[in-house]
C-alpha cells in the first residue's frame, strides 16, 4: 500500500526539526565509527563513501521515533513498518524456511530450514542492513554475497547499522563478506562461476531483502533453473527488468523473502452479485470484466488466512495485512488529506494584470495562503474525490462508510486488481449507496494511466470544470506509471484552470466577435470539410516556432509553391526573416498581445498578402493587419454560445472547434482536419526542446538581434519535464505543451484517420503522426494550381455576414436585465452568515440563482459571469468544507465574499458603459528598447 513520507513526519516543521536534531549527532557518530571499520576491513567501501552525495535516497526521521529510507524523488519510504523489528522477524522466517538453489539435479525440497553450516548465501538488497547481525549470529555462513543496486542505500545503512560489529562478527566466524554495491544481481552467474572455481559448493540459500525489477528477474531465473548448473552459471545471460504495468510491485511488500505459502480464494456469491450490479450501472465495464483473464496477479489467502493479491512469478504479496493496511491508509488520508490546491498553486497572470478577474484573484491570494493551508481534517462531505488505485477496494468501502462523496472518480490501471476485488468488496452495495445519496461514481479502468486526464476532464465537464478546484486526491498504492500519470494530471488540471473563461475573457470575446464580423471576417460553414473538394489534395505545412524550425527553412523554400503554408503565432517573424510568405497565418489568443507579436514583422505589405485564420474572439486590431480573415467558432465560449445560436436562428449553420486549445497549433490542427485536408506536415511543432536556452526558432521574436532571449524563458516557465521524442529518445516539455500534445493526439484520433499526419519536427512524439525527416518528404504534383484551389476553399467554405447582423446579435443582450440581476444577486449575498453551514448554503443558493438567469431570454449574466462564479464558488466552498465546530474558517469565507461582492459591483459599473470595448493588453515591455544613459 501507499507509503507516503508525508504521513510519517510531524506536520509542525519545528517539531520535525527538533526530532532530526536529536538524531543528527547519533548518526554522525555512527557514520564515523563505521567508516573507520570499513577502512580496516573493506577499504574500497570507505573510498567509495568518501565525500559521497546521495542522488535519490536519504534518511527520514519518522515521528514514531525511528529512521526510514525515503526516495525523495517520489516521496515514498522503503519500509512500511519499524525496520529493526522487521529485520528480526525476517531473519526468523528465513532460518525456518530458506529458499535453496541447487547447482545439480536434486530431490530435496526447494524450501528448508537453514543448515547450521551454510556454505553460500546470496542476499538481494541490503536496505538498512539490520538483518546482517542476527543472521550472522544464528547461522554459520562461509560466503555471504550481498547485491545492493544503489549506493545511496549503502550510504543510509552506514549511518544507521552497526557495521563495525557486523564486520567483526563476520571475521570471527570466518564469513567472507562480498558487498556488490551498484550491482543489481545480473552478474550473479559470473560471480557464482568464479566462486565455484575456488570453493566446492552444490547449493546456496537465496535471501531477498526487497524487490527490484532486475533482482527479481535474477531470483526467478535461479529458482526456475535450480538443478541446472549450465543455466545457473551462464555468464552470457542478460536479465531484462520487469517493466510491464502488471508487474509493478512495492520494494518491501507482504512477502519480501518470497517464501509465503498461499492458496487460491474466491467468493462466487459476492462475485455474481457484483457482476449484476456492473451490468446495471456500468454495462461496458461488465463486458470488459467478464472477458478479462487475470494476467499476473491472483486472489489468494496467505498463511495467516487473510485475503491478499499474489504475483506468482515475482513471489510478491501486495498487502502486509489487507484490513490493517486499508484502515491505516484511510486514517492517514483523513488526518492529512492531500488536496491538490491548484488555485493556490497558480499565480495571477502578469500579462493580464489589467483584467478585473486577475485583480480580484490577487486580492484573494493572501487570504488563501493563511487559511486553506491550515486545514487538516477531511470533511464528512466531499464535493469531488479522485482515488488512484482500487486494489481489493477495502479502503474505498471504509472511506464511504465515513464520508459522503458527491463525485467519486476511481482509477485503476490494473484490471487483475479490480477483477479480484469483485470477490472481496460489496461493490453492489456501494453503487446503491452512492446512487441513493444522489452522488456519482466514475470508473476509469485499464490502460496505463496516461489517459486519465482526458477521461477525467470529460467527467469534470459534466459536473462543472471548476469542481477541480475543490477536489481531493488519494493514491492508495505506488507504481511508476501511475505516479507519472498522477503528476501529469495535476499539471494538466492547473493548465485547464488557468485557461478558464472568466468575466474579462467572456466580455472581450463577445466584443471582438462583433468587431470581426462587422469588419467582414468569414465564418466556416458547418460540415463543409466532410464533402469531397479538390483543394483537399493540397498538402498542408503547419509551421510552429519550435527550435527545430531553424533546420527546415530550405525545405519550406523548396515546397512553398506546392503546399499550403500556415504559420502559427510567433513563427511568422521567423518565416519573414527567411523570405518565406505563408498562405495563412494563425493566431489563437484573444488579447491584443497578438497584435504586438505580429507587429514585430515590420513589413505591412508582407502582412497584407497573408490571410489570417483564427477563432472568433481574435483581436480586431490583429485582424486589421492582414489581407483577409477566416474564423471558426471555439467550443464552450460565451461568444460562441451567443453568436452561433443567433446565426442558427438566421439559418446560418457554422462549424465549431473542439480541440482549439491551449496552443495555436491545436487550433490549426483541428481546423485543417475539420476541412478534410488529406496530407498534413508539422514543422517546428516541437512542443518541447532539447536545450532550455533554445526553446523557439532563433529567427523568431523570442530572440533579439544579438541572439539573446527577450526574457528569461527558464525562469518564467521552468526547466522542463522529460518526455519521449519524435526523433530522439526524449526531449523536455512543459505542462502547457504536454496538454497541447494530448489534445493534438485526440484531434487526430477523432478525425477518423481521413488525413495522414507527418511529424517533421525534432520535438515530442505525437501519437497518430508519423515521424518523417524533412529530407524524406516527397510531394506529388498538384494538377490544378494552388491559388485556384485555395480560392475555391475561400469562396465555398466561408460565409460573410450581412453588415447589420452582428449589431443585432449583441443588441439581444439586455443590459437593464443585467443591472437588475446583479442588484438582486448582491442582495442575496448580503444575507447574514454566522456558521460555515450557512456559508455552504449561500454558495448553493448563488449557483441556483445564476442557473435561473440562463433561462431568461436576453439576460447576459450567465454567459458573462459563469466562469468567474465557478471560480469564487469553488474557493468559498473550499474554505467552509470542514467539520470544525468553531467556525474558524468563517472569517476567511467572509473576506472572500467581500472581494466577490466588489467584483460584481465593478462588473455592473464597468460593463454597461463599455460593452463593446476591446481588450487593451500590452506586451510592449518585452519589445521596447532600453533607455540610454
Task: Tell me what pLDDT residue 711 has.
Answer: 43
pLDDT along the chain (933 residues), means of 10: 83 91 96 97 95 90 96 90 96 97 90 92 98 97 97 97 98 97 96 95 97 98 96 93 93 96 97 97 95 95 96 97 95 77 61 91 85 70 88 97 92 95 98 94 82 64 58 85 76 65 95 98 96 95 96 94 96 96 97 94 97 98 98 92 96 92 94 96 94 53 51 48 89 87 91 91 96 94 86 96 96 97 98 90 91 94 92 84 66 95 97 96 68 45
Confidence (pTM): 0.71
Task: Tell me what pLDDT residue 695 has.
Answer: 41
Q: What is the CB neighbour count within 10 angstroms for residue 139? A: 21
Task: Tell me what pLDDT residue 133 has.
Answer: 98
**Residue 451: exposure state from Cβ atoms within 10 A (0-12, 13-18, ≥19):** middle
CA distances from 853 to 765, 821, 847 (A): 45, 8, 10
Task: Find the helix packing angle between 861-880 and 503-518, rounded to 10°.
Answer: 160
Q: What is the CB neighbour count within 10 angstroms for residue 525? A: 16
Residue 364 near residue 896, CB atoms below 8 Å: yes
| The Cα angle at residue 166 between residues 165 and 170, in degrees rounded to 5 | 115
Task: Tell me what pLDDT residue 710 has.
Answer: 47
Beta bridge partners of 265: none
Task: Tell me what pLDDT residue 487 has.
Answer: 74
Residues ≥6 apart with Cβ < 8 Å to 431: 277, 280, 281, 441
Grid cell 525489477 — which residue?
213
Q: Dihedral sign, CA of 120, 121, 123, 127?
A: negative
Task: Tell me what pLDDT residue 754 has.
Answer: 85
Q: What is the CB neighbour count within 10 angstroms for residue 373? A: 11
**Residue 318: exposure state from Cβ atoms within 10 A (0-12, 13-18, ≥19):** buried
Is the link from the previous residue into 244 a cis peptide, with omega within 30 of 0? Answer: no
Helix (H, G, I), strand (E, B) or coil at 338: coil
Long-range contacts of 479-484 (CB under 8 A, 24+ apart): 479/245, 479/248, 480/248, 481/245, 481/248, 481/413, 481/448, 481/449, 481/450, 482/388, 482/389, 482/411, 482/413, 482/449, 483/74, 484/449
Left (φ > 0), alpha (ψ -120 to 50) or beta: where does 109 sit?
Answer: beta
Residues 383, 932: Cα–Cα separation, whole Å: 57
Helix (H, G, I), strand (E, B) or coil at 851: helix
Residues 289, 276: Cα–Cα separation, whole Å: 12
CA distances from 543 to 137, 261, 564, 669, 698 (A): 70, 61, 10, 11, 14
Task: Tell me what pLDDT residue 12 has.
Answer: 84
Task: Tell me what pLDDT residue 703 has.
Answer: 47
Task: Tell me what pLDDT residue 481 has.
Answer: 76
Amino acid at each position: 500500500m501507499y507509503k507516503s513520507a508525508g504521513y510519517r513526519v510531524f506536520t509542525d516543521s519545528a517539531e520535525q526539526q527538533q526530532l532530526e536534531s536529536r538524531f543528527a549527532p547519533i548518526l554522525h557518530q555512527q557514520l564515523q565509527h563505521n567508516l573507520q571499520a570499513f577502512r580496516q576491513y573493506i577499504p574500497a567501501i570507505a573510498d567509495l563513501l568518501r565525500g559521497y552525495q546521495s542522488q535519490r535516497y536519504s534518511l527520514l526521521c519518522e515521528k514514531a521515533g525511528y529512521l526510514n529510507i525515503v526516495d525523495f524523488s517520489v516521496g515514498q519510504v522503503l519500509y512500511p513498518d519499524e525496520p529493526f523489528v522487521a529485520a528480526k522477524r525476517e531473519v526468523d522466517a528465513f532460518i525456518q524456511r530458506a529458499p535453496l538453489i541447487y547447482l545439480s539435479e536434486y530431490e530435496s525440497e526447494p524450501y528448508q530450514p537453514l543448515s547450521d553450516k551454510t556454505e553460500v548465501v546470496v542476499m538481494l538488497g541490503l536496505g538498512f542492513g539490520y538483518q546482517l547481525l542476527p543472521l550472522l549470529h544464528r547461522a554459520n555462513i562461509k560466503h555471504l554475497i550481498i547485491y545492493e543496486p544503489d549506493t545511496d542505500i549503502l550510504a543510509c545503512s552506514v549511518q544507521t547499522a552497526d557495521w563495525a560489529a557486523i564486520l567483526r562478527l563476520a571475521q570471527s566466524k570466518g564469513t567472507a563478506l562480498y558487498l556488490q554495491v551498484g550491482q543489481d544481481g545480473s552478474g550473479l552467474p559470473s560471480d557464482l562461476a568464479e566462486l565455484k572455481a575456488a570453493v566446492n559448493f552444490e547449493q546456496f540459500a537465496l535471501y531477498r531483502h526487497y524487490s527490484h525489477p532486475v533482482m527479481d528477474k535474477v531470483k526467478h531465473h535461479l529458482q526456475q533453473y535450480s538443478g541446472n548448473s549450465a543455466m545457473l552459471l551462464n555468464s552470457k545471460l542478460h536479465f531484462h527488468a520487469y517493466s510491464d504495468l502488471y508487474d509493478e510491485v512495492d520494494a518491501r511488500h507482504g512477502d519480501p523473502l518470497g517464501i509465503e505459502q498461499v492458496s487460491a480464494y474466491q467468493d462466487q456469491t459476492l462475485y455474481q452479485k457484483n457482476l449484476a450490479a456492473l451490468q446495471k450501472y456500468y454495462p461496458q465495464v461488465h463486458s470488459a470484466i467478464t472477458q478479462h483473464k487475470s494476467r499476473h496477479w491472483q486472489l489468494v489467502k496467505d498463511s495467516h488466512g487473510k485475503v491478499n493479491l499474489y504475483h506468482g512469478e515475482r513471489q510478491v504479496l501486495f498487502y502486509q495485512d489487507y484490513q490493517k493496511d486499508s484502515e491505516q491508509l484511510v486514517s492517514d488520508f483523513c488526518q492529512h488529506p492531500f488536496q491538490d490546491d491548484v488555485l493556490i498553486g497558480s499565480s495571477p497572470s502578469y500579462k493580464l494584470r489589467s483584467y478585473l478577474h486577475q485583480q480580484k484573484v490577487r486580492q484573494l491570494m493572501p487570504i488563501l495562503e493563511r487559511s486553506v493551508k491550515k486545514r487538516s481534517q477531511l470533511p464528512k462531505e466531499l464535493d469531488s474525490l479522485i482515488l488512484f488505485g482500487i486494489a481489493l477496494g477495502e479502503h474505498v468501502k471504509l472511506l464511504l462508510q465515513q464520508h459522503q462523496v458527491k463525485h467519486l472518480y476511481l482509477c485503476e490501471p490494473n484490471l487483475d486488481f479490480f477483477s479480484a476485488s469483485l470477490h472481496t468488496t460489496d461493490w453492489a452495495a456501494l453503487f446503491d449507496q452512492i446512487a441513493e445519496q444522489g452522488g456519482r461514481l466514475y470508473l476509469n479502468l485499464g490502460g496505463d494511466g496516461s489517459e486519465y486526464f482526458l477521461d477525467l476532464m470529460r467527467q469534470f465537464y459534466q459536473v462543472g470544470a471548476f469542481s477541480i478546484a475543490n477536489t481531493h486526491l488519494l493514491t492508495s498504492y505506488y507504481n511508476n506509471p501511475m505516479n507519472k500519470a498522477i503528476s501529469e494530471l495535476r499539471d494538466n488540471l492547473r493548465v485547464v484552470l488557468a485557461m478558464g473563461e472568466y468575466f474579462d475573457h467572456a466580455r472581450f470575446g463577445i466584443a471582438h466577435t462583433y468587431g470581426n464580423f462587422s469588419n467582414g471576417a468569414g465564418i466556416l460553414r458547418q460540415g463543409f470539410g466532410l464533402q469531397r473538394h479538390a483543394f483537399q489534395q493540397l498538402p498542408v505545412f503547419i509551421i510552429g516556432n519550435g527550435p527545430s524550425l531553424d533546420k527546415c527553412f530550405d525545405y519550406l523554400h523548396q515546397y512553398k509553391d506546392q503546399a499550403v503554408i500556415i504559420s502559427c503565432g510567433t513563427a511568422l517573424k521567423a518565416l519573414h526573416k527567411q523570405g518565406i510568405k505563408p498562405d495563412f497565418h494563425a493566431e489563437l489568443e484573444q488579447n491584443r498581445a497578438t497584435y504586438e507579436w505580429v507587429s514585430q514583422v515590420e513589413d505591412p505589405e508582407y502582412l497584407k498578402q497573408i490571410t489570417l485564420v483564427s477563432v472568433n474572439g481574435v483581436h480586431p486590431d490583429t485582424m486589421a493587419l492582414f489581407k483577409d480573415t477566416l474564423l471558426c467558432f471555439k467550443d464552450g465560449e460565451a461568444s460562441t454560445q451567443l453568436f452561433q445560436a443567433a446565426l442558427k436562428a438566421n439559418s446560418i449553420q457554422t462549424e465549431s472547434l473542439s480541440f482549439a486549445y491551449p496552443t495555436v497549433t491545436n487550433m490549426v490542427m483541428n481546423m485543417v482536419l475539420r476541412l478534410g485536408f488529406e496530407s498534413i506536415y508539422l514543422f517546428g511543432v516541437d512542443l518541447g526542446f532539447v536545450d532550455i536556452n533554445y526553446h523557439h526558432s532563433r529567427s523568431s521574436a523570442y530572440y533579439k538581434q544579438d541572439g539573446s532571449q527577450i526574457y528569461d524563458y527558464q525562469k518564467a516557465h521552468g526547466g522542463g519535464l522529460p518526455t519521449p521524442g519524435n526523433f530522439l529518445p526524449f526531449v523536455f516539455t512543459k505542462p502547457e505543451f504536454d496538454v497541447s500534445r494530448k489534445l493534438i493526439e485526440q484531434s487526430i484520433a477523432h478525425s477518423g484517420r481521413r488525413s495522414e499526419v507527418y511529424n517533421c519536427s525534432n520535438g515530442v512524439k505525437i501519437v497518430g503522426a508519423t515521424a518523417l525527416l524533412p529530407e524524406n518528404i516527397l510531394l506529388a504534383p498538384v494538377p490544378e494550381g494552388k491559388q485556384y484551389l485555395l480560392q475555391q476553399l475561400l469562396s465555398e467554405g466561408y460565409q460573410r455576414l450581412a453588415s447589420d447582423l452582428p449589431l443585432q446579435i449583441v443588441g439581444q443582450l439586455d443590459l437593464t436585465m443585467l443591472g437588475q440581476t446583479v442588484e438582486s444577486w448582491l442582495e442575496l449575498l448580503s444575507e447574514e452568515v454566522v456558521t460555515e453551514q450557512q456559508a455552504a448554503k449561500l454558495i448553493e443558493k448563488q449557483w441556483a440563482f445564476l442557473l435561473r438567469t440562463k433561462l431568461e431570454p436576453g439576460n447576459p449574466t450567465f454567459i458573462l459571469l459563469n466562469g468567474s462564479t465557478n471560480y469564487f464558488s469553488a474557493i468559498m466552498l473550499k474554505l467552509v468544507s470542514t467539520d470544525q465546530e468553531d467556525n474558524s474558517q468563517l472569517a476567511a469565507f467572509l473576506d472572500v465574499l467581500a472581494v466577490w461582492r466588489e467584483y460584481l459591483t465593478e462588473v455592473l459599473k464597468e460593463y454597461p458603459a463599455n460593452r463593446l470595448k476591446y481588450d487593451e493588453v500590452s506586451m510592449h515591455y518585452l519589445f521596447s528598447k532600453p533607455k540610454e544613459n
